Amino acid sequence: MAAHIQTQQSRLGVRAGSSIAVNDQRLAGVLLFTLAAQFMTVIMLAASIAPDYDFSGAAISDLGVIRETALLFNVSLVVVGLLNISGGYLLWRTHRRPWLLTFYALAGLGAIGAGVVSLNSSDLHSIFALVAFLFFNLEAIATAPMLRSPMKLVSVISGLIGIAFVGLMIAGDSGNSSAFGTIGHGGTERMIVYPVMLWLLAYGGYLMGGGRRATASDQP
């Protein structure tokens, strides 16, 4: 009788743990989807509001120093960072992979730093922005092994595209402006940001739909 009760309690504990993990993942999906949706909306709106904004020649972060758009853009960046760290933490509660949480945290901190330190106030802005550019795309690649196809493939491709354009941006900013090609600095930055933001939209929806349910076998 005692053994039967223990077995029932064990089963209830497993079910409760599984339910919590699924809820964490769905909430993480909401946060990551919201992150990408609000940021892409803000940068499109801000670019249309900013007087004489040059999509090709200007950096995305120029929206953070133009009077009409500075507050909107910088607050949005801070929100991006906070949501990414929060989403990464909720996912960590189910997969318990500290190194993956580190990617989410560094990407988030880079975004927060870029929002707090504007482009025209300190060289630290460029460092924060580079950290965000790099780790958001590494985050996509590092998350891929936990996903089912085709979401796994989407994660890898979006991350690789972003990292490739990070390399082009570094080359262009180092004096080789021809690396930007016809899309210019602004287009190059958008090719770093847009694919991974679209990935976050897709990944957020995937998690909200219960695309990957955590089980005991998911633990390292």
Q: In terms of residues, how long is the chain?
A: 220
Q: How far apart, in Å, are the Cα atoms of 162 and each of 132, 136, 191, 203?
A: 11, 9, 6, 16
Q: Please check the confidence at residue 82 and state whether its pLDDT lies above 90.
A: yes
Domain boundaries, the chain: 25-212
Angle at 162 between CA 204 and CA 139, to 5 degrees: 45
Give the dihedral sign, CA 83/205/159/179.
negative
Report how far residue 127's alpha carbon sits from residue 37's, in angstroms, rounded to the nearest whole number.
24
Contact yes or no for 204/29 (Cβ under 8 A):
yes
| Mean pLDDT lowest among 48-52, 160-164, 196-200 | 48-52
Query: Is 160 within 8 Å of 141 (Cβ atoms)?
Result: yes
Which alpha helices (DSSP H) does 50-148 contain, by range?
70-95, 98-116, 124-143
Separation of alpha carbons 89 and 55, rounded Å = 34
Helix then strand then coil, in percent of the chain rounded to 5, is 80, 0, 20
Q: What is the pLDDT of residue 4?
A: 47
Residue whose pair of structure tokens reads 């318990």 in the numeric block: 96
> Across residues 61-70, what is the average pLDDT?
94
pLDDT digits (tens, 9 = 90+) for 105-163: 999 999 999 999 989 888 899 999 999 999 999 999 999 998 988 999 999 999 999 99
Burial 109-133 (b: 16+ CB within 10 A, else e): bbbbbbbbbbbeeeeebeebbbbbb
